[in-house]
Copies of this chain bind each other. A is one copy, B any other.
């Protein structure tokens, strides 16, 4: 009888694993972003934070982390760097001494405005090798998958949290 205790291991155990493919694409995505946006001194994470602070002025770090699904600990350092570059400012919240509210500076709004075309270019480039129809399909499946697996990550996306810093009275 065959009775092998162990199936022989091949590199397929790595190459065909979705986890490996996602890691690879993440590496590629970051590399393309950095290449296209070299002149702006912004990382992908910093860009996402900047966009969110722009659309949610006065948001605090915890809510920001929920809205872009980044770890709260990690985000602390990201915010520090954005502050060091003077793209954002932090102001203490009057009603809660624990909270620090985040706002874009003029410089921050400026970079965000200027970097947009380069970000677009990077996003386009990473799907470029696929046929247009396949790009659509992939984006659709990816979006579904991220949404359906939302609870699997440590920091699930909570877009609705973004509203809390407005009208807590309401």
Q: A: which residues have CB within 8 A of B?
A: 5-7, 9-11, 13-14, 16-33, 44, 48, 51-52, 54-55, 67-69, 112-113, 116, 119, 122-123, 125-127, 129-130, 134, 137-139, 141-146, 148-149, 152-155, 157, 159
Contacts and interface: CB of A to CB of B under 8 A. Distances in A.
A23 B46 CA distance: 13
B146 A14 contact: no
A18 B29 contact: yes
This chain's copy number in the assembly: 2
Contacts of A26: 22-23, 25-26
B126 A21 contact: no
A55 B6 CA distance: 14
Given A30-B19, A44-B19, A142-B25, A149 B126 contact: yes
12 contacts: A9-B112, A11-B51, A11-B55, A18-B29, A18-B142, A20-B44, A21-B146, A24-B153, A25-B26, A32-B149, A125-B152, A126-B152
A146 B11 contact: no
A33 B13 CA distance: 14
Nearest to A68: B14
B13 A51 contact: yes
B29 A23 contact: yes
A139 B17 CA distance: 9
A6 B130 contact: no
Contacts of A145: 25, 126-127, 129-130, 138
Contact of A22 (B29, B129, B130): B29
A129 B148 contact: yes
